[in-house]
Amino acid sequence: MMRRYYCTAGAGMEELLVEEVKHKLFATEVEQISGRVFFCSNAHLHTMTQLKSAERLFLLLRKAAPISLPKNAAKAAVVIQQSIVGDANIWKQSLLLWKALQTELQDRQQHGQKRKREREEDDSLNAVANSTHSLSSNTQLGKELNQQSISFRVSCRCSGVIARCYTSQRLSRIIGMAIKEKLKWKVDLREPILEVNVNVSDDHCIIGMPLLKHPLASRCYMKHNGLRSTIAWAMAYLCPKQLNNCVILDPMCGVGAVLLEAAQEYSNALFLGMDTDMSQLQKAAENVNTAGMEEKVQLLQSSAMEIPLTSGVVDAVLCDVPFGRKFSCSIDMPTALPHLLKEMERVLCVGGHLVLLLSLQLSAQLKKIVCKHKCKKHANSTDAHCVHTDPSNTNNECKDISKTLMCHKSSSEISNTPMFITSLQAHRTHKVSLGSTDAFIHIFTKIQSDINTH
């Protein structure tokens, strides 16, 4: 049976989520708005939990036009209640579907636990204890779901005109009172069986029921969090080459978020993570062990300024270049960026890909050192006119043509002779949000160069 769902997504991830639901869920009637993707699918709920670009998954109860409020406060409250709650039969049908999906997911989890017990005979006593606790919890949930009344709470977000009249808390109370009165559900703000999510703006009114207790973006295999998992996944997904049977490097791996997301996508690749900070590498090792990826992911303490690898041995370099905001960095990144790029390019094989996550500042610096394909002809020259100093000119002049990176040696090096990297061709740039700041994912492909690099 086709069911209507929606997922929330971070800014810049909506396009990738659309592609993912179409590919993995064979979704139809896909609609994208800012921060959300709506779709129909008959896929198993367990399959939906494998979505990597989504934040949370909801059963769509209703998507309606924005609410027009009268000036009278009492009448406005009535309009809100009628607009949000509407037909009680729709709520009852949605609740039945929500219950069926919860049962479907529980059956899958119990089946998985049974198979796990069979594989782990040495830990049979612990497995039985865990199973007993799980079955007890599922039984209790089943009893509560079968009761005629269900406990709930309302989580509301509002923006635009209505936000100037009502806070989210007040709006939640108004909607909660209407649901309680019309559907006879019980309010429970602490541990409800069901959460009702309402989003009201000047463009729409969306009501949904979350299908999972934890966000999809919270990965069970990440004991220590680093880069947001959805962004780390996007870096691997946007790489234009299938990375199976390849060597993939992250020379500034931190806790290993990018490597582990890539490892989930490419089962036959070998992953190498490097970092100068041993405490970060220890956390990365714990994440690798939690994910059961010890045989696929190797970790090494090393500097990205001097990667201890032979030239051309890596198929892809995926790197979240530190911004210096959440995690401190021992080097001055704007100064070091040209040399970092040179080292990453050196270890890449021809046809390999470089995927970088850069802050707005570093992206602007990168744009300033990007010049036209025709500058290759003058690579042996130090002509300063070859370098664009205006980012807006860079965008206009380099559109739809091959691009090259012109880098300069870091201040720690004796020579000030400029280094030209003519083998990195720009493939794509994708803007994403990291919550408090924006960033860009830059993708380059290494091509054969006929110019000697200084």
Distance, in Å, from the CA atom of 340 to the CA atom of 305, rounded to the nearest integer, reads: 6
Whether 373 has a pLDDT exceeding 80, the answer reads: no
Most confidently predicted of 69-78, 81-90, 121-130, 271-280: 271-280
Using DSSP's 3-state secondary structure scheme, residue 377 falls into helix
Contacts of 399 (CB under 8 A, 6+ apart): none
Determine which of 159-173, 359-373, 396-410 has the lowest per-residue pLDDT on average.
396-410
Nearest residue to 216 (alpha-carbon basis) of 206, 227, 230: 230
- Among residues 3, 50, 8, 56, which one has the least CA distance to residue 33? 8
pLDDT at position 443: 94
Q: What pLDDT, on the 0 to 100 scale, is given for residue 372?
A: 41
Q: What is the pLDDT of residues 160-174, one digit of tens each?
A: 989 998 999 999 999
Q: Residue 414 above 80 pLDDT? A: no
Q: What are phi and psi of 70, to 5 degrees?
A: -75, 165
Give the pLDDT band (50/70/90) at residue 389.
very low
The total number of residues shown for the chain amounts to: 454
Q: What are phi and psi of 33, to 5 degrees?
A: -130, 175
pLDDT value of position 329: 53
CA dist 16 and 398 (Å) reads: 25
Partners of residue 383 on adjacent β-strands: none
Which part of the chain has CATH 3.40.50.150? 229-446
pLDDT at residue 449, as a whole number: 61
d(CA 217, CA 433): 14
Mean pLDDT on 213-236: 93
Q: What pLDDT, in 10s, does the model give residues 176-200?
A: 999 999 999 999 999 999 999 999 9
Cα 79 from Cα 85, distance rounded (Å)? 10
CA angle 90, 92, 96 (to 5 degrees): 115
pLDDT band at 337 (very low <50, low <70, confident <90, very high): confident
DSSP β-bridge partners for residue 441 = 357, 430
Which residues are CB-contacts of 405 (< 8 A; sequence separation ≥ 6)? 341, 345, 366, 369, 370, 420, 421, 424, 444
pLDDT > 90: percent of the chain: 56
- Average pLDDT of the segment spanning 289-314: 94
Per-residue pLDDT averaged across 401-427, rounded?
Answer: 50
Distance CA 37, CA 35 (A): 7
Structure token pair of residue 213: 């207790």
Mean pLDDT within 86-97: 92
Distance CA 404, CA 411 (A): 22
What's at 279, amino acid-wise?
A: S
So what's the pLDDT on residue 135? 39
The domain 229-446 is classified under which CATH number: 3.40.50.2000, 3.40.50.150, 3.90.25.10, 3.40.50.300? 3.40.50.150
Sort residue 168 into left (φ over 0), alpha (ψ -120 to 50) or beta. Answer: alpha
According to CATH, where is 3.30.2300.10 located in the chain?
Answer: 55-210
Does the pLDDT of residue 108 top 80, yes or no?
A: no
At 137, the pLDDT band (50, 70, 90 cuts) reads very low
For range 264-292, the mean pLDDT: 94
Per-residue pLDDT at 424: 82
% of the chain at pLDDT higher than 70 = 76
Lowest mean pLDDT among 43-52, 95-104, 146-155: 146-155
pLDDT of 357 > 80? The answer is: yes
Q: What's the start-to-end Cα distance of the chain, in Å?
A: 63
Q: Read out DSSP for 115-158?
A: HHHHH-GGGHHHHHHHHHHHHHHHHHHHHHHHSSS-EEEEEEEE
23-32, 244-253, 407-416: the lowest-pLDDT one: 407-416
Instruction: Determine the Cα–Cα distance for residues 152 and 195; give it in Å rounded to an integer.
Output: 5
Q: What is the mean pLDDT of the chain?
A: 81
Residues 208, 143: Cα–Cα separation, whole Å: 23
Contact 268, 245 (CB under 8 A): yes
> What confidence tier does 366 reach under pLDDT thresholds 50, 70, 90?
confident
Beta-strand pair 270-275/297-301 = parallel
Q: Is residue 418 scored above 90 in pLDDT?
A: no
Least confident of 111-120, 223-232, 399-408: 399-408
> In this predicted structure, what is the pLDDT of residue 346?
93
**Strands 194-200 and 151-158: what pairing?**
parallel
The whole-number average pLDDT for the span 314-325 is 86
Residue 201, pLDDT > 90, answer yes
CB distance 433 to 359 below 8 Å? no
Region 217-230 average pLDDT: 92
Q: What's the mean pLDDT in 63-71?
A: 87
Residue pair 321/356 in contact by the 8 Å Cβ criterion: yes
Q: Does residue 441 have a pLDDT over 50? A: yes
Q: Which residue has the higher pLDDT, 382 or 115?
A: 115
| Res 118: pLDDT | 52
Range with the lowest mean pLDDT among 52-66, 356-370, 416-430? 416-430
**Taking Cα atoms as reference points, which of 173, 152, 170, 166 lies closest to residue 67?**
166
Domain 55-210: which CATH number of 1.25.40.20, 3.30.310.160, 3.30.2300.10, 3.40.50.300: 3.30.2300.10
Higher pLDDT, 364 or 10: 10
CA distances from 376 to 180, 197, 211, 363 (A): 70, 55, 54, 22
Asked whether residue 68 carries a pLDDT value surpassing 70, the answer given is: yes
Res 15 pLDDT > 80: yes
Determine the pLDDT at residue 386: 37
- Helix pair angle (73-85, 168-183), 10° resolution: 60
